[in-house]
Chains A and B, each alone.
Chain A
Amino acid sequence: RRDVLVLTPWLAPIVWEGTFNRDILNAQYMQKNLVTGVVTFAVKKYWFFIEGFMSSANKYFLAGHQVNFYLFTDNPEQISHLQMAAENHLFVITVQNHSQWQDISMSRMDIISRYILSQFQYEVDYLYSIDIDVQLFEHIGVEIIDTLVGTISSWQYTARRESKSYETRTESQAAIPKGEGDFYYTASFYGGSVAEVYKLTRACFKGVMEDRKNDIEARWHDESHLNKYLLYHKPTRLLSPEYYWDEEL
């Protein structure tokens, strides 16, 4: 691929179709006997997306490898019988709902870090947080597996640095100084090793709580905090907007 940037200035690969050979990567992944987890939330009306997400993810997400799906929902009764591939597991975890969607969004960080500590670290090597309102149309494979992985937001892909949606108000913990920032990452798909995701979610939630105390809310909520974190803790691998494309574009 010569038409796109395939390597960041800190030598992290940017994953685009055409840059990798999935067979080679599958062989490497299997050598190491790894287990990957997916965390997703279906709270309030979002229960509607569960079936679409789970059936497409079950088919297309790391097909052929063991995946543990951790589905957090306030509506466990709404989950119709979901057929899982033999190698995959589904864990349904009931959560409280909150009044506003932003709160749910931001408390995800807290929930993820707490569950990593109490459960996920014993069950998976790598963990990805993916929004439930997506459907996979193509295989997403082991090319996503690395220590700390962010996905370039499709909305922001061509935007120049100044127009990116970073939080700029210095009162917020998520503030990024003017002129700084490598890429704009989407909070809809990020992940990495369980240890790194723990550090990321802890740091983001700390920022969220600090902002709440100071009565400020970041422009794009947990996504703003994610972007701040990934600016100062560079991802070891980036996924191109192919990996999270908003149909509305």
Chain B
Amino acid sequence: RRQDVLTVTPWLAPIVWEGTFNSEILDSAYRPLNLTIGVTAFAIGKYTRFVGHFLESAEKHFMKGYRVNYYIFTDNPETIPDVQLQPGRRFVIVPIKKYPSWQEISMRRMEAINKHIAETSHQEVDYLFCLDIDMVFYNAWGPETLGDIVAAIHPGYFNVPRSQFPYERRSSSAAYIPDGEGDFYYGGAVFGGLVKKVYEFTKTCHMTILMDKANGIMAAWQEESHLNRHFLSHKPSKVLSPEYLWDDRKPKPPEIHLIRFSTVDKNYKEVRD
């Protein structure tokens, strides 16, 4: 058990840290349900270079022993490498259009995920995780992460007072969170839950993103700002600790016993061009 960190939110959602759960108990509860877990990841433009490493590491660490469908959204299907998958695991390329700026690409994810759920994945998966592609799995990511609505704490802000959270602070934006409000700063690189719930909140986030567009404003951290606004009013039923969304450029603090999923070091300027 962990006494050094908060393990339950004030609305009684568990915060998942190493040491708070027993994988065997969870596996024995979830395996018999014959679930299929979906993963969406966007590899647009130069970001296709991250697909191979992402998938190889996922095969080693992500939901081992469960059926998994990887949905790779890309504008460049020919550049996606062929990765060897374990039995029960599938890989599907979802062709999408490339938008002119990286911010736009990032924000259109909500719409693309929502559309894809409606057309395809709602019939194919029980749970869906939406992950950034420029990341690698280093340790186990298992059924402890499953829940109705799942969000992850951003690694840069888990130990920082609420006033420093980079929420959108302009009241003209639909993602606005006033001073003094807010539970956590959630990272846009990891979110998920029951496919029905992901459908609902990607739709809401996309609506608020469009509202801002109509008002000529773009939120401070794009869809991450909208996600944070949404999860403030519609609290996640499970929160993942920064073990599940780490940034390798950060020194590892004592609270982080295990890094499971982390950014790949890259030259942001070069890869976003």
Contacts and interface: CB of A to CB of B under 8 A. Distances in A.
B11 A21 contact: yes
B20 interface: yes
B153 to A, nearest CB: 16
Interface in A1-46: 2, 5-7, 9-13, 15, 19-21, 24-25, 28
Interface residues of A, number: 19
Contacts of B25: 9-10, 234
Contacts of A7: 1, 7-8, 14, 20-21
Contacts of A5: 1
A143 B8 CA distance: 13
B3 interface: yes
A62 B26 CA distance: 31
A11 B235 contact: no
Contacts of A25: 11-12
B29 interface: yes
B14 A11 contact: yes
Contacts of B226: none
Contact of B20 (A11, A19, A21, A28): A11
Interface in B62-117: none
B254 interface: no
Interface of A: 2, 5-7, 9-13, 15, 19-21, 24-25, 28, 143, 234, 237
27 contacts: A2-B3, A5-B1, A6-B7, A6-B8, A7-B1, A7-B7, A7-B20, A9-B20, A9-B22, A10-B22, A11-B16, A11-B21, A11-B26, A13-B8, A13-B12, A13-B14, A15-B12, A19-B8, A19-B10, A20-B8, A20-B12, A21-B11, A25-B12, A143-B12, A234-B25, A234-B29, A237-B12
